[in-house]
């Protein structure tokens, strides 16, 4: 099954939205397989947001991501990367469609509630950046037959 990284950003923690956001992924039927709280550093953010290092907003993005701890989660499911990304909605939360996480809880391009991996390849790289093999928990999924048909993948 596919795995994807979700980071609940500092504003999500400060605004008391951690439970709301995690609850959406739970209710969707995704499986939480790893989770931790962490204060991010300039070094890890330079790596994580390397594709944005030349953007004028990069210093503010980094400061925003270090303003408080983040919650790192790994969610598992068939096509989890695409599904989670669509649940997050457009980067600019003001333009994100209502019903998406950013569309329902945000007003900003920067302070947009969650980070979600954008491809299966990047999900692997990002999960390795924040989690070690021992961070993942294996446990039974007794509702599997109610979440998926036997031939789904
Ligand atoms: P994504 O989070 O939707 O994948 P990316 O383009 O990868 O979007 O940008 C990473 C993060 O950088 C965004 O989630 C947001 O916090 C911030 N960001 C992106 N574009 C802007 C912008 O135009 N102004 C301010 N912050 C931005
Ligand atoms: Mg991105």
Structure tokens at 92: 């600019």
Torsion of CA 19, 22, 24, 25, to 10 degrees: -170
The active-site residue, picked from 83, 115, 123, 126, is 115
The number of the ligand 1 atom at minimal distance from the alpha carbon of 118 is 4
Percent with pLDDT over 70 in the chain: 100
Per residue in 99-134, pLDDT (tens digit) is: 999 999 999 999 999 999 999 999 999 999 999 999
Strands 70-77 and 114-116: unpaired
- What number of CA atoms fall less than 13 Å from residue 88's CA on the CB side? 25
Please tell me whether residue 64 adopts helix, strand or coil conformation. Answer: helix
pTM over 0.85: yes
For ligand 1, what atom is nearest to the CA of residue 51?
7
Q: Name the closest-CA residue to atom 23, ligand 1.
A: 109
pLDDT in tens, 61-113: 999 999 999 999 999 999 999 999 999 999 999 999 999 999 999 999 999 99
Ligand 1 binding pocket mutation candidate from 110, 111, 114 (most atoms within 8 A of CB) = 110
CA separation for the pair 71, 57 (Å, rounded)? 22
Which are the contacts of 115, defined by CB distance < 8 A and separation ≥ 6? 5, 6, 7, 9
Nearest atom, ligand 1, residue 111 CA: 16
Residue 79 backbone zone (phi > 0: left; psi -120 to 50: alpha; other: beta): left
In this structure, the residues whose C-beta lies within 6 A of any atom of ligand 1 are 52, 57, 61, 91, 109-110, 112, 115, 118
Nearest CA to ligand 1 atom 5: 91
Strand spans (E) along the chain: 2-8, 31-38, 70-77, 114-116
Q: In what order do the strands lie in the sheet with 2-8?
A: 31-38, 70-77, 2-8, 114-116
């Amino acid at each position: 099954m596919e795995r994807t990284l979700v980071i609940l950003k500092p504003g999500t923690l400060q605004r008391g939205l951690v439970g709301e956001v995690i609850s959406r992924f739970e209710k969707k039927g995704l499986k939480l397989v790893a989770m931790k709280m962490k204060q991010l550093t300039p070094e890890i953010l330079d790596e994580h947001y390397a594709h944005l290092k030349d953007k004028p907003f990069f210093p503010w993005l980094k400061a925003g991501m270090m303003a408080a701890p983040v919650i790192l989660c790994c969610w598992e499911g068939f096509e989890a990367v695409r599904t989670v990304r669509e649940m997050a909605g457009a980067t600019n939360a003001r333009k994100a469609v209502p019903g998406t996480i950013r569309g329902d809880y945000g007003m900003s391009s920067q302070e947009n509630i969650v980070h979600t991996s954008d491809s299966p390849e990047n999900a692997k790289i990002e999960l390795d950046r924040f989690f070690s093999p021992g961070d993942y928990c294996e446990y039974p999924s007794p509702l599997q037959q109610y979440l998926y048909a036997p031939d789904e993948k």
